[in-house]
Amino acid sequence: MKKAHIVIIGGSAAGVTAAITCRRHYPDKEVLLIRKEREALIPCGIPYIFGTLGSIEKNLLPDAVVKGSGAEILIDEVVDVKRDEKIVITAGGERIAYDKLIISTGSVPGIPPIPGIDMDNIFPIEKNAESLKKVMERLKGASNLVIVGGGFIGMEFADECRKSFKAKITVVEMLPHPLMLNFDEELCIAAEEIEKKMGVDIMAPERVESFIGNGKVKGVRLASGKEIEADMALIATGYVPNTKLAEKIGLEIGPTKAIKVDRYMRTNDENIFACGDCAEKFSFFDGKPSNLRLASIAAMEARIASANLFGPRRMNEGVIGVFSTILSGTVFALAGLSEKEAKAKGYEITVGKWEGVNRHPGSMPEAENLKLKLIFEKGTGVILGGELMGAKSGGEIINMIGTAISKRMTAEEIARSQMGTHPALTASPIAYPIPNAAEMACIGP
């Protein structure tokens, strides 16, 4: 029987980060990562396989990232864990003893109960290479592609597929506009207009009532009574925690149907930790259960879990939610609470806005416009969120805002923050967006 001090189940963002972090904190411990996929994908890069990247091979997580840390990889599927004996059992017949176990089994597509969804040429967006290769092949011959769901994945797939395939693309979204679970309405409308200009048809608010066809999809019937042609469909309605193994071995499941963990990422078994999409999450703002699932959150949780394996060192303060996307060259990003979410949680808020170019002077190469909105709690002035659209530099600016939220900075503190600037790299020190938006919130309407 094999033995490893630390065994990690799952090889995506959480699993890989866990392996690297374990080796950093416990260089004397043997670390074994077990994953069933022969090729490990970068999950956030999946839509770009179908456009910008052009192939699955350009979106693979190299094994060298794990092996270079000193951890080992086993390609196999864990089918059982004998918790009393502290033994992992694989489909290949391996029995591996462990001291500490990390479960990072991720998430799987949530399949809505739509009549006809099991017909040929209808694909959930799975995180494995074989499924995506089939999608790629079928897209080459598609004339009418319908994407069910206008969230991040649906909109990114629409934007990328239009670059490489001849099919007419239609996105069907239940809410009034795409991305409404993520952003305030003005950004959602802007994103919708951008994609429509690029030839993507967006039907919202609409709901798919059924798929039409005889074994193979030929169309989509909407709740409004409309019917649209479709010889291929992608299901982009979100993901659910993959807890099949956790449930089998008797780990507790939380209110969002993910593995229940404490603030140190421990399960109800003191020798088993969980992190990533399969693990329960709670909000940084009010401590309530959260359905946020992001690779950045998975990596953060993996760093916490790994550091705590042999004694608590780090504590999870809850998920803030920092995310971004890019549609036809325009970035849309949010950290923390949107204005709509803050109000829904009962906060009285103050908003500061700023708009300007991301270089100085504006005639510099790569100068682009950027709009920023910061949301603060009225009275305390503590930052609750930030939202932006425009220049690609917004992808890093939103991370700065996420850090400010985690440190509970106030509008006054942000307004007097020191920001390094350079004509070819950033906005002017006079017009840098973050302190200017904070300043506008300080002076009020």
Q: Three-state SS across the chain? A: CEEEEEEEECCCHHHHHHHHHHHHHCCCCCEEEEECCCCCECHHHHHHHHCCCCCHHHHECCCHHHHCCCCEEEECCEEEEECCCCEEEECCCCEEEEEEEEECCCEEECCCCCCCCCCECEEECCCCHHHHHHHHHHHCCCCEEEEECCCHHHHHHHHHHHHHCCCEEEEECCCCCCCCCCCCHHHHHHHHHHHHHCCCEEECCCCEEEEEECCEEEEEEECCCCEEECCEEEECCCEEECCHHHHHCCCCECCCCCECCCCCCECCCCCEEECCCCECEEECCCCCEECCCCHHHHHHHHHHHHHCCCCCCCCCCCECCEEEEEECCEEEEEEECCHHHHHHCCCCEEEEEEEEECCCCCCCCCCCEEEEEEEEECCCCEEEEEEEEECCCHHHHHHHHHHHHHCCCEHHHHHCCCCCCCCCCCCCCCCCHHHHHHHHHHHCC
Average pLDDT over residues 176-186: 97
Mean pLDDT across 55-77: 96
CA 391 from centroid of its chain's CA atoms: 20
pLDDT digits (tens, 9 = 90+) for 102-123: 999 999 999 999 999 999 999 9
Tens of pLDDT, residues 369-379? 999 999 999 99
Residue 444 clears pLDDT 90, i.e. is over it: no
As a whole number, mean pLDDT of residues 38-64 equals: 95
Q: What's the rounded mean pLDDT across residues 10-38?
A: 97
| pTM reported for the whole predicted model | 0.95
Q: What are phi and psi of 34, to 5 degrees?
A: -115, 125
Give residue-wise pLDDT tens across range 259-311: 999 999 999 999 999 999 999 999 999 999 999 999 999 999 999 999 999 99
Map out the domains of the chain with their CATH numbers: 2-108+240-307 (3.50.50.60), 111-237 (3.50.50.60), 322-443 (3.30.390.30)
Is 445's pLDDT higher than 80? no
Q: What is the pLDDT of residue 199?
A: 97
Residue whose token pair is 């088993």: 272
pLDDT digits (tens, 9 = 90+) for 322-341: 999 999 999 999 999 999 99
pLDDT digits (tens, 9 = 90+) for 396-406: 999 999 999 99
Spatial CA neighbour of 127 closest among 110, 141, 113: 110
Residue 27 phi/psi, 5° resolution? -65, -15
Residue 107: the pLDDT is 97
Q: For residue 322, what are the β-bridge partners?
A: 335
CA-CA-CA-CA dihedral for 307, 311, 316, 317, to nearest 10: -130
pLDDT band with cut points at 50, 70 and 90 for residue 185: very high
Which pLDDT value is given to residue 383? 98
Q: How far apart are CA 236 and CA 112, in angstroms?
A: 10
